Structure 1
C-alpha cells in the first residue's frame, strides 16, 4: 500500500486545485479521478455553457445592430456552434492533460501520482480505487473530498438526455430545438433561456414557481432580465406549478396549474431540467471513515472545510455551500493550507464575486437591498444607469446599472454591489477588493480610471455618495439615485 501526504478524491476544478496546492508544499499527492480531469467545470458545466453564451451573445449583438435595416438576420448552424464549444473544451482539456502528464515525469513523480478509477473509503485513512476489475488501496495522512456533483432529476420523469435533458444532455443536441421548455428559473435555467433565445431559432418557455425569476435578487434586477427575455420571445410561466412532464419520444408534453385554478397543457420539442445539482457522495462509503453528512443527506458537514474527522476535508460542491468553480478552488486551496500550512483565518464568503450569464450580464458581491430589508440593516444606496457611462454609450450597450450599498454612517463601509450590464463581471472586482481590504470608498473616488471604461461608473457612484459627482441625481432623477434605506423605507439623500 502506497503512503501519501495527501489523497485527493476528484479531479475537477476543486480537486485539481487541492492537488496542485499540495505540490506547492512539497508533499506527496495522489489525485484520483473516475472519469475526466477537469470534471463538469470543463465538459458540461462552466466552460461549455459559457462558451455557448459567448457565441449566442455575439449572434444577438450582430442582429441587434442590423435591426431595422433591410438585411437578413445573421445565424450560425448548430454544428458551427458546437464546433466552437468543442474547440474551447479541447483547449482546456489539453492544458489539464499536458500539465498533468508533465508533472508525472521522473523529476516530479515523487510528488504526484494520478490514479484513474472510482474512490471509496475503507477506513479513515485508506481509500480503495476501483477501475474495471482492478483494485488498489492507498493510504492518506490527509484526504480532500472533491467529488463534485451531478444535475438533479425529477422523480417519475424519463430523463433520457435526448428529449428530456439536464445540462449533461446539451451536447447530445444535433440542431437547435424548435421549442424548448426549461424547468427552473434559477441562475442556470435563466442562463440557458438567454442562450437559446439569443440564437433566435428556438421558442423558449421558462417555468417559474415564484412571481418573478431570480427571486433571491432585487426586483430591479429580475425585472430587467425578464423584460429582455420576453423581448427575445421567451414565455415565462410565473407562479406556475408543474403537474406533469411527459416524454413522448420526439416531443414533451407538460401541464401547469396556477393559483387562480387555471391549467395549461403545452407540447414542445425538448425539455431541459434546471432544478439544482446533487453532490456525488453516495459511493464514497463515508461511513467507513466516520465522516458525517447533513441531516437531509445532501452534502458533507464541515467546519471551515474540515469534516468531523480532523484529517479529512470537504470542498467544492460536496460541501453544500456556494457551488461555483472559483469557490471550489478557493476552498480546496484553503483546506490544503490548513493541513500543511500555518493558516489561521477562516475562509470568508462575504466578498465572493459572482456572475450570472444573462442578458444583460449580472455580477454580484456582498449583500443586496432585499437582504438589508429582511435583516433590518440601515444602509445608503447609490444607483447609476449605464446610459450615463461613456464606454456603454460607445459600445451602444446602455441597458443596465450599478448599485452600491454602504453602511448608513459617515464611514460608509461597502457592504455589497450589483452590476447589471456589459463588462459587469470585470467591474465588480473593484468593489470585491475594497471589501476584502476594508478600504474606504474615497480610494475609488481618487483613483485615475482608464477612459472610457465601464469601471468609471463605479467611481461616479462613489462620487455621488461623497457629493462630488459629475452628474447630479437631483437633475438626472431617472438615471441616478442616492438614498438611505432604513426599516424598509427609502429616503432620498440631499444632494446638490
Structure 2
C-alpha cells in the first residue's frame, strides 16, 4: 500500500491550492480528481460564466456606441462566442495540467502524485481509488483534505433535462441564443445569467423573484441600479411571484406563476435556467465507520478541521462561504494548520466579493443591510461616480461608492461596497485595513494614481474626517454622510 503524508480529494481551486501548498512543506502528496483538473470553478462555474459575462459586456458596449461610427447592429455569432468561452476554459485547465506535468522534472518530482479516479474513505487513513476502467487501489494517508466541491441544486418538481430546462451545467451546451428564457432564482447566479443573456440582446429574459426585489441580501440602493439596468435591457422581473408549475411542451417551456395578490399567469419561453444555489458533493465519499459530521449546508468544520482529527474539509463542500477565493484560502490554510503553525485563525470578515452584473458590484465586510440586522451603529458615506474624474473620462458615471465605519472616534472600517466600472479593482486596500482592524486615517493619507476610481474612496474618507474636496451639503444627491443609531438615520453636520 502506497503511503502519503497528505491525500487531497478533489483538484478544483481549493484542492489544487492545498496540494501545492503541501509541497512547500516538502510533504509527499497525492492529488485525486475524478473529472477535470480545475473543477467547476473553471469548467462550468466561475471562469466560464465570467468569460460569458465579459463577452456580453463587450457586445452591449459595442451596440451602445454604434452611433459614433454610423454602423448598424451586426449579427452575433453564437458558435464563435461559445468557442471563445471554451478556449478560455481550455487555457486554464491546460495550464494547470502542464504545471503538474512539469513538476515531474522539478525538485518536487518525488513529492507530488496525481491520480484520475473516484476516491472514497474506507477508514480515516485509507482511501480507495476507482479508476475509469473499474480497477481499484487503496492508499494510506496520514492526513486527508476533502475538496470535492459542489453541484447545482435540483428542484425535484421541475423537469430538468439539461437541454430545455437547465442548470449552469447544461447551459454551456446550448447551440444558439434562445429567443426567450426564464430564470428560476433571483440570487447572484440567476442575476448574473440574466445580465449575460440580456446583454447580448438576442434573448428575452424572464426572472422569477419571490420577493419584491432581487438580491434580497443586498442594499436597496444597489438593487435599484441593477434592476433598472436589467429592465432597460428588456428583462421581465416577476416580482412577488411563486412558481407553481413548469412543464416541457412541444420542446418549449410553459410555466405558471402565482402572485402575492392571489392572481395567476401562464408564460411560454424557449428555455429555462434553474439557479437556486449549489449543494456539496459528499455522497459516497466515506464509509459509515468514518462518521464525519455534516449539516444541511455541508461538512461541519472547525477552522477547516472536521470532527475526525486527521481529516480536513475546504471549499464548497463545507458550510462556509462558497467562493473560489475562499476555497483557495481554506485549502492553503488547512495545510498550514496540519504541517505548520498559522499566525492566526482563518477569518472571513475581509473576504472580497464581486457580482458580475450591470454594472459590476464589489464589496468587502458588512453592507448596510447586514449592519442593521446585527444592530451595529455606524457612519456611512456615499459618493456618486459623477464626482470621480476616471468615471467621467470613461463616459460612464453610473455607480457609487459606499463606505461604512464604526460610529465612534476611531471610525474603524466595517465595510465597503462599490457599484460601477472598475469596482473590483478598488477594494483591496480596504480589505487589508479591515483585516488589520484599522481606522480610516491610513486611507486619507494615501496618494492615489490620477485619474482612478480609488480616488473616490479617498474622498469618502475625507468626508468622514470633515475635510473633503466636495461638501455633502452642496452636492446633495451625489454625496451623503450619515449616522445610523439604533436604526435611525441622521445627517452628519460638519
Give TM-score, length-normalised by structure 1. Answer: 0.97
The residue that corresponds to 1:362 in the other structure is 361
Q: Secondary structure at the match of 2:189?
A: helix
The residue that corresponds to 1:397 in the other structure is 396
Cα distance, 1:74 vs. partner? Answer: 4.2
Deviations 1:9-42 (A, max 9, x none): 0010000001001111000000000011001011
Cα distance, 1:69 vs. partner? Answer: 7.9
**CA spacing shift, 1:267–1:67, aligned 2, 3 Å:** farther
1:490 paired to 2:476: no
The residue that corresponds to 1:388 in the other structure is 387
Equivalent pair of 2:23/2:108 in contact (CA under 8 Å): no
| In 2, Cα distance between equivalents of 1:259 and 1:159 | 26
The residue that corresponds to 1:173 in the other structure is 174
Q: Secondary structure at the match of 1:283?
A: coil
Q: Secondary structure at the match of 1:167?
A: coil
Deviations 1:299-337 (A, max 9, x none): 111101000011100100011211110000000111110
1:15 paired to 2:15: yes
Matched residues, number: 493
Cα distance, 1:76 vs. partner? Answer: 2.5
Which deviates more, 332-341 or 282-291?
282-291
Runs of 4 or more consecutive aligned structure 1 residues displaced over 4 Å after TM superposition: 67-70
Q: Secondary structure at the match of 2:299?
A: coil
Deviations 1:81-121 (A, max 9, x none): 11211111111111001001111347533101101100001
Deviations 1:254-302 (A, max 9, x none): 11001111001001000001001111100202533221111x3x41111
Equivalent pair of 2:405/2:414 in contact (CA under 8 Å): yes
Q: Secondary structure at the match of 2:382?
A: strand
The residue that corresponds to 1:338 in the other structure is 337
| In 2, Cα distance between equivalents of 1:75 and 1:55 | 14
Q: Secondary structure at the match of 2:71?
A: coil
**CA spacing shift, 1:393–1:74, aligned 2, 3 Å:** farther
Equivalent pair of 1:157/1:247 in contact (CA under 8 Å): no
The residue that corresponds to 1:66 in the other structure is 66
The residue that corresponds to 1:414 in the other structure is 413
Give TM-score, length-normalised by structure 2. Answer: 0.98
The residue that corresponds to 2:374 in the other structure is 375
The residue that corresponds to 1:119 in the other structure is 119
**CA spacing shift, 1:67–1:403, aligned 2, 3 Å:** farther
The residue that corresponds to 1:284 in the other structure is 285
Q: Secondary structure at the match of 1:288?
A: coil
Q: Secondary structure at the match of 2:32?
A: strand
Equivalent pair of 1:59/1:74 in contact (CA under 8 Å): no
The residue that corresponds to 2:436 in the other structure is 437
The residue that corresponds to 1:246 in the other structure is 247
Equivalent pair of 1:286/1:292 in contact (CA under 8 Å): no
| In 2, Cα distance between equivalents of 1:471 and 1:262 | 49
> In angstroms, what is the RMSD of aligned CA positions?
1.3
Equivalent pair of 1:183/1:275 in contact (CA under 8 Å): yes
| In 2, Cα distance between equivalents of 1:167 and 1:157 | 15
Deviations 1:52-76 (A, max 9, x none): 0001111111222235985312442
| In 2, Cα distance between equivalents of 1:329 and 1:344 | 18
| In 1, Cα distance between equivalents of 2:250 and 2:111 | 51
1:182 paired to 2:183: yes
The residue that corresponds to 2:319 in the other structure is 320
Q: Secondary structure at the match of 1:52?
A: helix
The residue that corresponds to 1:141 in the other structure is 142
The residue that corresponds to 2:77 in the other structure is 77
| In 2, Cα distance between equivalents of 1:300 and 1:254 | 35
Cα distance, 1:468 vs. partner? Answer: 1.1
The residue that corresponds to 2:198 in the other structure is 197
